[in-house]
Amino acid sequence: MYQLGIILCFFFFFLLKCSTSLDLQQDGKIVNGTVAANGEFPYAVSLRRSKTGHHSCGATLLNSRWLMTAAHCVRRAKPEDLNVQYGSNLIARNATQIAQVNAIHVHPEYDPKNKHFNDIALLQLTESVSFNDAVQPVHLPDPLQQTLSNSSAVLAGWGLNATGGSVQKQLMKVELQVFSDSECSDRHQVQLHSSQICAGVPEGGKGQCSGDSGGPLLIGGKERNGSDTQIGIVSWSVKPCTRPPYPGVFTEVSAYVDWIVQTVASHPTQDPLSSQLWIGQLIVARTPPPL
Q: Which residues are catalytic?
A: 72, 119, 213
Determine the Cα angle at 96 with ends 91 and 100, to 5°.
90
CA–CA separation, 33 vs 159, rounded Å? 11
CA–CA separation, 184 vs 50, rounded Å? 36
Contact by Cβ (8 Å): 66, 264: yes
Contact by Cβ (8 Å): 180, 187: no
**Cβ count near 86 (within 10 Å):** 20
Contact by Cβ (8 Å): 158, 211: yes
Residues 6+ apart with CB under 8 A from 37: 89
CA–CA separation, 230 vs 108, rounded Å? 22
CA–CA separation, 99 vs 101, rounded Å? 7
